[in-house]
Chain A
């Protein structure tokens, strides 16, 4: 059996998940800082 799709699939889904959740978290973190700063300035 060709192992490549299984190995690449496992690593692929892991890397996609990690990149995805890091990017989502970073976006949320940044927008939280921005919105708080905007509200505090008013």
Chain B
């Protein structure tokens, strides 16, 4: 089957299934026009929820959560550092999933999503790195150390930057999509390394506080603001990517309409 090097003609008629010959739900959902119709009404709600949750979580952590027994007020940096780190990793996982769909099923929507996830994920990773450095200086005594956790998150940041550059590097967009998808999938091996780095090797970074399987080592009055801030960050990521994806689809549509008009005139 052929890959749509330019999907504009598909967007021109948004009701036509993008990969019409197969009728699975996935393909129907991957129709950019349908996505636009579903996502646009949800956007104001998504935005409202993300802003409220993020503001509540951040203000709670900054002003109302109790100081820590060991680190005092410096532990408040956790309420922005940890959510940013979680979103940075979840964003990369989403990028990898999109790349998988892009390579195996060649969904145009997956390519567009990958293109929009990159900058947002890189931003959250940057926030994680900077807030972590500002936490490390007063507590550890160093802004940066080359331990396994810090280094693997820095690698994540560079993977994001590489993806952002690669996906935009080709005149033929489909080449960029394919190359960037491979980079994203190869880079996904870094995700388990980040998560388990603090268990596999001696690191200056402390171990994981929140554990899915075992109990968490955090008091309930500090856990609530952390979870709310995290939910807010996750929702913000979702909102931002959805809005940018909608914008990208509309931009494609605009370009295709202009092209078609120019062709008619010629």
Contact = CB atoms under 8 A, between A and B. Distances in A.
Interface string B239-266: 0100110111011011001100100000
Given A28-B244, A29-B243, A10 B236 contact: no
A6 B254 contact: no
B207 interface: no
Per DSSP, chain B at the interface is: helix
Interface in A1-42: 1, 3, 6-7, 9-11, 13-15, 17-18, 21-22, 25-26, 28-29, 32-33, 35-36, 39-40, 42
Interface of B: 43, 47, 51, 54, 58, 62, 72-74, 76-77, 80-81, 84, 120, 123-124, 126-127, 130-131, 134-135, 137-138, 236, 240, 243-244, 246-248, 250-251, 253-254, 257-258, 261
Contacts, number: 87
Nearest to B141: A1
5 contacts: A11-B62, A11-B77, A21-B123, A28-B247, A29-B243
Contact of B80 (A11, A33, A35): A11
A24 B74 CA distance: 31
Contacts of A25: 240, 243-244, 247
Contact of A14 (B47, B80, B244, B248): B80
Contacts of B250: 32-33, 35-36
B240 A21 contact: yes
